[in-house]
A = this chain, B = another copy of it.
Amino acid sequence: MTETVIDWERETRTGVAEAMLCEGKSAAQIAAILGDCGGRRLFLTRLGPEVRSSLPATIQDALDYDELSRTAVFGPAIAAARAGAGIVCAGTSDLQVAREAARTMAFHGYAAPIIADVGVAGLWRLMRRLDEVRGFSVLIAVAGMEGALFSVLAGLVEAPIIAVPRAVGYGVGADGHAALTTALATCTPGVVTVNIDNGFGAACAAIKILRASQRTPLADDAD
């Protein structure tokens, strides 16, 4: 038994399910919450390997764990049958957050491919994959350091861009604020942002956007 009250109705109400942020919770608290799930599926974020290995073995077995993204799925997997967001990364160290986003989408049944290492220092890397990138109706862009990718990308595509600034770099870039302010002060309209390193939140917003498209009454004069 636990004092935690999972908001099981959230998926019905908002389109995305409540997830458990494991950072700041003990293994005992996590185990208690999972023990109260009663057969329902739950997504876990920021589950460090050391906390995970302190969980009871039966619970560890019940988790589909991914160490790079520190995420886990409790309960059965479902097919990622719907077309999800495209996830664009500036560099190799952005992959862990990109994967958090991709796994969040998969938990909700969306396939979200990652287009890696297309940072603007070598613009040709983005340009040669532009057709692929333009195929998505929503894009999540993950970038640290100065985050210039957000602005460049938004000027090239029709899809809305959900920026995920990364706490990658050093000096003024170390904590992710340089990339965050780029996403906010961008000269290219059509960029929105979530918190630093919040791949989970970006995926939730992308899911809401994709779901919106199925609820939108078709406009008469849309091009």
Contacts and interface: CB of A to CB of B under 8 A. Distances in A.
Contact of A221 (B82, B93, B150, B160): B82
B171 A221 contact: no
A216 B83 contact: yes
Contact of A81 (B123, B154, B211, B220): B220
Interface size class of chain A, counting residues whose CB lies under 8 Å from the partner chain: 35 or more
A221 B190 contact: no
B13 A155 contact: yes
A120 B188 contact: yes
A205 B186 contact: no
Contacts of A183: 146
Interface of A: 2-5, 7, 9-10, 13-16, 18-19, 21, 23-25, 29, 33, 46, 81-83, 90-93, 95, 109, 114, 116-125, 137-138, 145-148, 150-152, 154-160, 162, 165, 167-173, 176-198, 200-202, 204-205, 208-222
